[in-house]
Amino acid sequence: MSETVSEKTRDRIMYVLAMLSAALLTWNLYKIFMILPDEKNQGAIYRIVYMHVPSIFTGFTGFFVALAASALYLITKDLKYDAFAAAVTEVSLAFASIVLATGMIWGRIIWGIWWAWDARLTTMLVCWLIYFGYVMLRRAIDEPTQRARLSAVVSVFGCVDIMIVYKSIEWWRTQHPAPVLSVRDGGGMGPGMESPIYWNWLAFMCLAAILVMVRMRQESISREIDSLRRMAHAY
C-alpha cells in the first residue's frame, strides 16, 4: 500500500518536473532565437552556447551527486546509494555527450576543424571515457557488492578529472575560449545574454531529475529480478 502511494507521489513529481522543464525550455528557446541579439563575429552559431554550457553544468552536477552517493556507499555499504549513483552517472553521461557533440559542431565553424587536442577538449574527452567506462564496468560485473565497490572507485577517480576539466582553461591557454561567464570573472556576455544559460540549466536539471527517477525505477526492478532468481535457485 505504502509502495503504491510512494509510486503515485513519484509519478506526480515527474509530471510536475516535466511540465516545468517543457515550459522553461519553450520560453528559453523563444528568447534565444527571437529576442537575443546576434553576436558580431560568430553569426547564429554562438547560440550553441545555450545548449553547450547548461549541458556541462548539468552533467558535472550529476557527476558530483554520483560522487557523494558513491562515497556514501563506500561508508555504509548500502546498495541503494550505489543504485542512485549508477542512475545519476548514466543520465549525466548523456548530458556530457551533448557537450562534446555541440562543442565539435561549434569548433567546425569557428576553428575550421571538428576536433583539436587542446587541454579542455582532451580532458573532457577523458572525463567522458571514464564515465563511459563506469557504465560498461557495471554491465561487465554481475556480483552486486563487487560491482558497487569498483563503480564507486571509478566515480571518485572521474571527479578528479572534472576538477582538471574545470581548471584547464585557466592552467593552459590553448584553443578553447577562456572563461566567459561573469561568475568566473570572464567579463560576461552582454546584458541579458547570460541569463538563458542558467534558465536552460534549470530546465535540464528538471529533465535530468525525471530521467534519474525512471532509471532508479529500473534499478529497483533489476534488484527484484535478482532476488527472485536467488529464491528460484534456493528451491
58 binds another protein (CB under 8 A): no
Pick from 16, 44, 163, 178 the residue near another protein by CB under 8 A.
44
Residue 174 touches another protein, criterion: CB under 8 A: no
**Residue reference for cell 527517477:** 213
CB nearer to another protein: give 79 or 94.
94
Region near another protein per CB under 8 A, out of 8-16, 31-39, 166-174, 181-189: 31-39
Are 58 and 208 in contact, with CB atoms under 8 Å apart? yes
Residue 141: count of CB within 10 angstroms of its CB:
14
Closest separation between CB of residue 186 and another protein, Å? Answer: 21
Which helix (H) or strand (E) covers residue 204, if one does? helix 195-234
Q: 202 exposed, middle or buried (CB, 10 Å; 0-12, 13-18, 19+)?
A: middle
Residue 172's SS3 state is coil
Q: How far is CA 90 from the centre of its chain?
A: 8
Whether residue 41 contacts residue 33, with contact meaning beta carbons closer than 8 Å, is answered with: no
C-beta separation of 69 from 84 below 8 A: yes
Q: At what angle do helices 119-140 and 79-110 cross, to 10 degrees?
A: 140
The minimum distance between CB 125 and another protein, in angstroms, equals 16
Do residues 138 and 86 lie in contact, with contact meaning Cβ atoms separated by under 8 Å?
A: yes
Query: Which region, judged by CB under 8 A, interacts with another protein, from 3-11, 64-72, 94-102, 123-131?
Result: 94-102
d(C-alpha 118, C-alpha 111), whole Å: 12
Query: Given candidates 17, 24, 28, 48, which one binds another protein under the rule CB under 8 A?
Result: 48
**Contact flag: residue 218 with another protein (CB under 8 A):** yes
Which residue in 30, 33, 157, 171 binds another protein (CB under 8 A)?
33
Closest CB to another protein among residues 43, 177 = 43
Contact set for another protein, span 188-217 (CB under 8 A): 207, 211, 214-215, 217
Among 109, 129, 160, 163, binds another protein (CB under 8 A): 109
For another protein, the binding residues (CB under 8 A) are 33, 38-39, 42-45, 47-48, 51-52, 55, 91, 94, 97-98, 101-102, 105-106, 108-109, 207, 211, 214-215, 217-218, 221-222, 224-225, 228-229, 231-232, 235
